[in-house]
Amino acid sequence: MDKPEDYIEGFRRYLEENQNEIAALKLIATSPTQLKRADLKELSLLLDTKGYNLRTLHDAWKNAKRQDVAADIIAYIRTLMLGSVLESREDRVKKAFLRLYQEQNWTVPQKSLLQRIEKQMIAEGIVTVEDLDKQPFDEIGGFERINKRFENHLPAILQKINTYMYNGNQTA
């Protein structure tokens, strides 16, 4: 690998030069809440072919910035394109859910379901309405049943969580 600083700068330039050609880059920069898991997977494969993978980025960042952050590709891209603070996915998810938990008094079943969604978001990065009909949520009735627990407001709640993940303390 080149000097860590050069690698990071090369990645930043690549992002800048391709932000309008690669749809997922544009979404990450402008509308991360609309990003789907398939978009992220496709982007990761593309970046890997260009020599930019998460492992190498992490090592370069750690050596150049003296910061050891377990960040995901979204965090690196937003940091380099927008100047966002580099945070791990887990930290972003936990802050978003903390804010959500403080907004209202959730019932015990609602809180339990939100905690399951939080755990899945930490593991996967993205949880969509469609994901709620797959493992591990299908075993508890999938989207329809979970949505009923939230009085049919689950899509709006998921949107709010995603907004909080990327807008920090700003209002949604």
Measured distance CA(51)–CA(48) in Å, rounded: 5
Largest CA distance in the chain: 54
Q: Provide the 3-class DSSP secondary structure of residue 110.
A: helix
What is the pTM for the complete model shown?
0.85
Measured distance CA(115)–CA(172) in Å, rounded: 21
Q: Residues 105-116: what's their mean pLDDT?
A: 97
Measured distance CA(64)–CA(8) in Å, rounded: 8
Q: Which H or E element spans position 161?
A: helix 154-167
Measured distance CA(28)–CA(33) in Å, rounded: 8
Q: Provide the 3-class DSSP secondary structure of residue 172.
A: coil
Q: Give tens-digit pLDDT for 57-77.
A: 999 999 999 989 989 999 999
Residue with tokens 């979404």: 27
Q: Which two tokens mark 35? A: 């990003």
Q: Residues 88-107: what's their mean pLDDT?
A: 96
Q: Which two tokens mark 144? A: 């329809």
pLDDT score of 1:
52
Q: Residues 128-133: what's their mean pLDDT?
A: 93
Q: Are 101 and 45 in contact (CB under 8 A)?
A: no
* Angle at CA of residue 50, ends 44 and 54, nearest 5°: 45
- Is the confidence at residue 172, as pLDDT, over 90? no
